[in-house]
Chains A and B, each alone.
Chain A
Amino acid sequence: MQVSCTQENLSRGLGIVGRAVATRTTLPITNHVLISTDNSRLRLSATNLEIAINCWIGTQVEEEGAIAIPSGLLTDFVNSLPSENIDIKVAPQTQTMEIKCAKSEARISGQKADEFPPIPRIGEGITAKVDPRALRNAISQMVFAAAVDDSRPVLTGGYAQFSGDKLILAAADGFRLAVHNLGLVAPAGEEAGVIIPARSLRELDRLLRDQADPVEITINPQRSQILFRLKDVEIVSQLIQGNFPDYNQLIPQSHTTRAVINVAEFLRAIKSASVFARDGSGILKLMITPGEGIQISARAEEVGDNEGTIDAEIEGQEAKIAFNSKYLMDIFTILEDEKVALEVTTPSSPGVFRPIGDDDWVQVVMPMFVQW
């Protein structure tokens, strides 16, 4: 193998795939990055067996070839080089990479490329296209609701349901549920529901930042992997085994009280109350009184308490409900809407937040049992 490329390109490429290099692993080769020629480009690949990233950089290819090189060493060395041209050479049989740049020269021993676990190349399967901004927005509105503890693995991921020209993303941890609908630019050929690890969604979110063109999504025929094809970058995630709970069952179908609240005002009020809720299991009490507004209160045992009232357009009966402050904060810090609706029934049935005028998303929060 013999190629040359610019230091900037190689450094940027290694930075991107570096997110998928395994750090703590039972499979030592996964802390390598696989470097291979691909027509007239250089492909960098890494996998931690949960997320795999491919990145292509422009190169001049003199001689084709492939090798796996320890990622940390290579990345640190390349980053230390001046921004000039880099010549890379791997003599057949030696598994040693020679790197030359300006007056610097290095040799790094690698491993045979075919010892590297295959980087998924998903050709066929269920395909769809989505706008990157809409996808980022959806991810940010649901991924926080995924479970952190792994006692129920299916809940540690986001559920992605493809159906016609719709993609529904949902996450639940047993205490809340976040659902987001978004339209597909190109509809999915088939219905499919898969669970994507939350880590992968966050990684995807990061990569989507600089993306303008529609993202191509493919689920492989075995439905074990999902691929997102960006410009010059592919990210492939393993899917989580198991069945996601039927989240529709978790969304209350009716309510007795509905309050339309101003997002900014509500956020300010729950922020103030949260300061006092920290010690008391994060409990925020909401008293919803038609014609008056919503009173939000919290108390810290033996320290003090807080009460605030915000205006709201309230329909239906008087109601009270207690929420965990963190869960409300998670929702309200990411909302872009100006106003949202809160629907409640009894103090022990779930509270529901919805947008006004459309049904792009819904947030369900389980109430807490408190002494009123």
Chain B
Amino acid sequence: MPEVFYRKWRPRTLSEVVGQEPVTRTLLNALITGRVAHAYLFFGPRGTGKTSTGRILAKAVNCLQNASGEPCNECAMCQSFNEGRAIDLIEIDAASNTGVDDIRDLKEKVNFAPNASKYKVYIIDEVHMLSTSAFNALLKTLEEPPAHVIFVLATTEVHKVPATITSRCQRFDLRRIPQAAMVGRLQYICDEEGINIDPEALALIAKSATGSLRDAENLLEQIVVYHGANVDLQQVRSELGLTGDARIKELLKSIISKDIQSGLTIINSVANDGLDLRHFNRELIDALRAMLLVKAGADDATGLTPDEIKEMKAIAADISLEEVSQSVKLFSQADFRYSPQSTLPLELALVDYSVAQSESKPEPRAEVKASSQPRKETVKAVVQDEPQEEVAEPSVPVVPQRIPISETSSEIEHIQQHWGDFVKACKGAVGQLDALLRGSCKPVSIEGNTLVLGFYAKSKFQKNKVEDSKYSQAISGKLEEMFGTSYDVHCITIGEENRPVPPPAKENPLVREALAHGAEIIGEEYVR
């Protein structure tokens, strides 16, 4: 069994590390000038080169020739590193050694001299998995590291690493690998492996890997195994489940004509052919978006050929801009998380759109008949903020998907419109971010690259919290996820009069139900 690409083509010198020039340049300088730090922290998403860089560093400091800063990969020492036999490179997987005892053990061991090389290098991977007490124990060692020891900590989740640790390390943030750098590396691998591949195909692989080289190498390998050494764009598309299916246009027509029957038939026939509905939906949204642009007169922005634009215009003749925008919204909200291969999310989106457009007056919501003998009870209505909010508005599920900027509104309007969804999407991020943001603030303006959040006067506590870098960084991250731009966050205080009035409890379905049973509201209280 040959090694998979991502092992076989693991970089062996700093210059082979792809797309991390700021990091590799700094390290190379340190190596050349002999000013290597005692502790490094490599932070970055999967497949960006954390462990690889750590290993190269370990090899370089111990290389017996080390003239240019780079390891020579030829001396006995380099070879023992490359073959994984180096006795002074200790890779610790923090997840299996989370406890304080493991770190205490480490603390004792660092006092021993290296066996054969100049430096003993400890690479602690997934360092965020250490327990608090283990971090504390590690801290002591990082404070006074013996001269012959270098620590390399690597993590995908730097926010779980205490600041006391990060501050004692030279920290390097490895970024997602830029498309061009990724394409270059993949091309190199293809050349070496004797693979013929279209540039567009390569670009598509690189794009779908979202910055992780390992993901890209895996995908490339899978395609090559299946399709052989000559790879074209179509093969990559099909491997990615991009159908380019003619049925997308048919479904588009069904949507426009609000023909539920034909729409459902198309969705089910696509599913029956075993195509990936998530990809189908993504392509459908692309088509709807193109239609939106065509409708709005931004033909150039579609990236379509004149013929395609003409066709799109013909299809879109009977639909208004608002309707297209509504359909984009509904289909991009189709939630496949809990049923990744089900037709249901698409079917629902189709039906919702058609119903919303054809039923001018929505029918009354589900009603449940009361017990035959209603009990007279006095109920203190307790409106719970969280679960019911979600249940009460069944038509808008939480979508942690990126919300496309519509062409008509400005950036800040766009964020304001989607602020509620954004807050929901923050659930599960650091701490209780969503709870801190809910009802305490609103986006006020964008200044340069900074999003200004206005906190209502009484929400001082929340403001103070959010100003902590832990939270503001998390917000930036989420903003990027959802809106595609990474804003810095600045908090200001605004008057209480800006606070929107909460909906009366009577609008809550549970409360409505209780009222229908003869309950009375004797007071309202918001529960967080």
Contact = CB atoms under 8 A, between A and B. Distances in A.
Say if the two chains contact directly (CB < 8 Å). Answer: yes
Interface of A: 149, 151-152, 154-155, 172, 174-175, 177, 242-246, 249-250, 281, 324, 348-350, 366-370
Contacts of A368: 111-113
Given A350-B113, A366-B114, 20 more contacts: A149-B105, A151-B97, A152-B91, A154-B85, A155-B87, A174-B87, A174-B88, A175-B112, A243-B85, A245-B85, A246-B76, A246-B85, A249-B76, A250-B87, A250-B115, A250-B116, A348-B148, A349-B113, A350-B115, A367-B113
Contacts of A246: 76, 80, 85
B192 interface: no
Contact of B85 (A174, A244, A348, A369): A244
A180 B276 CA distance: 62
Interface of B: 76, 80, 83-88, 90-93, 96-97, 105, 108-109, 111-116, 146, 148
A281 B111 contact: yes
Contacts of A370: 111
B113 A281 contact: no
Contacts of B93: 151
A319 to B, nearest CB: 15
B108 to A, nearest CB: 5
A370 B113 CA distance: 11
Contacts of B108: 281
Contacts of B116: 249-250
A127 to B, nearest CB: 28
Nearest to B89: A152
Q: Which of A154, A155, A281, A369 has most B Cβ within 10 Å?
A: A369
Given A151-B97, A366-B113, A369-B113, A172 B87 contact: yes
10 contacts: A149-B105, A151-B96, A154-B85, A174-B88, A174-B109, A244-B85, A367-B112, A368-B112, A368-B113, A369-B111
A245 B80 contact: yes
Nearest to A347: B113
Contacts of A172: 87, 115
A369 B87 contact: no
Contacts of B111: 281, 368-370
B112 A151 contact: no
A174 B84 contact: no
A367 B109 CA distance: 11
A349 B115 CA distance: 8
Contacts of A250: 87, 115-116
A250 B85 CA distance: 12
A174 B115 contact: yes
Contacts of A281: 108, 111
Nearest to A365: B112
A65 B83 CA distance: 48
A243 B83 contact: yes
Given A250-B115, A250-B116, A350-B115, A245 B86 contact: yes
**For B92, B105, B111, B112, which residue has the most chain A Cβ atoms within 10 angstroms?**
B112
Given A245-B80, A245-B85, A281-B108, A151 B92 contact: yes
A151 to B, nearest CB: 6
A172 B91 CA distance: 16
Nearest to B93: A151
Contacts of A245: 80, 85-87
Contacts of B76: 246, 249
A166 B114 CA distance: 30
A366 B92 contact: no
A369 B146 contact: yes
Highest count of chain A CB atoms <10 Å: which of B85, B96, B115: B115
Contact of B90 (A152, A324, A349, A350): A152
A19 B137 CA distance: 39
A177 B90 CA distance: 16
Contacts of B92: 151
Contacts of A175: 109, 112
A151 B113 CA distance: 19
A151 B85 contact: no
Contacts of A350: 113, 115
Contacts of A149: 105
Contacts of A154: 85
A58 to B, nearest CB: 46
A366 B86 contact: no
B217 to A, nearest CB: 24
Nearest to A172: B87
Nearest to A367: B113
A366 B90 contact: no
B91 A151 contact: yes
B129 to A, nearest CB: 14
A324 B111 CA distance: 10
A350 B111 CA distance: 13
B88 to A, nearest CB: 8
A349 B114 CA distance: 8
Contacts of B88: 174
Contacts of A369: 111-113, 146, 148
A250 B80 CA distance: 12
Contacts of A244: 85
A243 B84 contact: yes
A366 B112 contact: yes
A51 to B, nearest CB: 24
Contact of A366 (B105, B115, B146): B115
A246 B88 CA distance: 12
